[in-house]
Amino acid sequence: MHMADALVSPAVGGAMLAVSAGLVAYSARKMRKDFDPSRIPLMGIMGAFVFAAQMINFAIPGTGSSGHIGGAVLLAALLGPYAAFLALTCVLVIQALFFADGGLLALGCNIFNMGFFGCFLAYPIFLKPMAGNFSNPVKVLLASILACIVSLQLGAFCVVLETLVSGVTQLPFGAFVALMQPIHLSIGVVEGALTGLAIVFVYRARPQIFLECNAQKSFSYRAVLGSLLIAALAIGGGLSLLASGDPDGLEWSMEKVAGTAELESSGAVHGAAADVQEKTSFLPDYSIPDSESAAGTSVAGIVGSLITLAAALAVGFALKPRTKRTRVCV
């Protein structure tokens, strides 16, 4: 899922770098508050482990292509979402620098696609609530598979969006999606299974790694919302230029985010996603990004996104329960 520099335009690359930088800064700030130096070896070794695991390509039956695990969900389970996000960022930077796996300009895209959904969406929304304190292997396995599938589907979809908005390839939206999603569905299942097994194993062998994570405060959705806002702005402008060559596919993808979430303070995320979903069902026809009419629609697109998301944010903050200050899992 690593994107190369040649596939992104400076605008998309820059925008996603900003988003990812913001998320990194946010994660770092969160970690600094309750920093436990004894977690450092774990952070380092998990970073190295995920890095090594990503080098192993496994063949995906029936597609003639190969994939590798992302690792975001596993990292989040063992390190907590913030440390996991930082660890994954490191892995991606090292891969970009030393293995030409993913570009530098595209780094923001890659960090977002592979890290954000796993650490900040899939883990707190699916894995943690379902798996609880990780003591029931079956629950852990099922939760992991679900979380990984969601995380990879969203990530893959973002790759499609970012590539198309950059305007470098003529691959039609429908075809691109039709290729990316199923492949990453298979990868998601495999990664989910491996993640689940790994969590069960570590829980049996070194339960103290999970002990400190048990008292976890309810997850703050501000980061999720903030980055959704920025990403929507950057891409929303471009989205309004794209034909939804396959509106069902697009809506289907959005459904996955909006429809399955069942959270205490779900209002905001639900609202934001639903609004984006509404927006995209009225997309105009496909046109190459530098055509005449584009300017008008993209400005409207950006303004539209701003208004709807501002409204959603306002609603979200109003609804958000006052979170208790318990120990953040780092």
Instruction: Catalog residues that contact other proteins under the rule CB under 8 A.
Output: 2, 4-10, 13-14, 24-25, 28-29, 31-32, 35, 37, 40-45, 47-49, 51-52, 55-56, 86-87, 89-91, 93-94, 96-101, 103-105, 163, 167-172, 175-176, 197-198, 201-202, 205-206, 208
Take residue 185 and report the two structure tokens written for it: 């569905």
Query: Which is nearer to other proteins, 71 or 304 (by Cβ)?
Result: 71
Find out whether 3 and 102 touch, Cβ atoms under 8 Å: yes
Instruction: Compute the least distance from the CB of residue 316 to other proteins, in Å.
Output: 26
Query: Which is nearer to other proteins, 22 or 249 (by Cβ)?
Result: 22
Query: Which is nearer to other proteins, 86 or 283 (by Cβ)?
Result: 86
Instruction: Compute the least distance from the CB of residue 26 to other proteins, in Å.
Output: 10
Cα-based angle 100, 330, 271 (whole degrees, multiple of 5): 80
Instruction: Compute the least distance from the CB of residue 160 to other proteins, in Å.
Output: 10
Instruction: Compute the least distance from the CB of residue 91 to other proteins, in Å.
Output: 7
- Distances from the Cα of 72 to the Cα of 9, 35, 120, 289, angstroms: 26, 20, 9, 33
Name which of 44, 106, 109 is nearest 75 in CA terms: 44
Torsion sign across C-alpha atoms 110, 112, 251, 236: negative
Amino acid code (one letter) for 138: V
Instruction: Compute the least distance from the CB of residue 307 to other proteins, in Å.
Output: 30
Query: Which is nearer to other proteins, 138 or 314 (by Cβ)?
Result: 138
Query: Which is nearer to other proteins, 26 or 126 (by Cβ)?
Result: 26
Say how far apart CA 111 and CA 139 lie, in whole Å.
28
Say how far apart CA 120 and CA 65 lie, in whole Å.
28
